[in-house]
């Protein structure tokens, strides 16, 4: 399966479970790999046939910027569902990092993989 990726997308968000976190916006970092058959856009050379990573990025910036979740796990699940549903992506791997959240660690977070459930 071909993949389209977005690496290091930084988005400011209200996230966290502690009182001090609820009063500030924090920078989150997103890395996505999305399954997509790139043969058609390669043949047509037309943006309309691609998985438009700029459109995916803009939609995530909008969604995450307006979100208000306590857990990165919840935010990651919602972002994965959004990309699958709105962009027709059959599979994705999403890494959501929260830089500076733990002393001594560059970042902490979650990595999830999700796929469209096919009816049998």
User: So which residues are the catalytic ones?
Assistant: 98
Q: What is the DSSP string of 47-104?
A: GGGS--HHHHHHHHHHHHHH-EES-HHHHHHHHHHHHHHHH--SEEEEEEEEETSSTT
């Amino acid at each position: 399966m071909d993949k389209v990726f977005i690496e290091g997308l930084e988005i400011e968000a209200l996230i966290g479970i502690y009182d001090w976190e609820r009063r500030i916006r924090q920078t989150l970092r997103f890395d996505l790999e999305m399954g997509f058959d790139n043969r058609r856009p390669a043949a047509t050379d037309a943006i309309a046939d691609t998985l438009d990573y700029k459109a995916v990025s803009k939609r995530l910036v909008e969604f995450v910027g307006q979100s208000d979740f306590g857990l990165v796990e919840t935010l990651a699940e919602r972002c994965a569902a959004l990309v699958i549903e709105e962009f027709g992506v059959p599979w994705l791997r999403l890494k959501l990092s929260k830089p500076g959240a733990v002393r001594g660690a560059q970042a902490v977070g979650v990595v999830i993989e999700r796929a469209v459930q096919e009816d049998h």
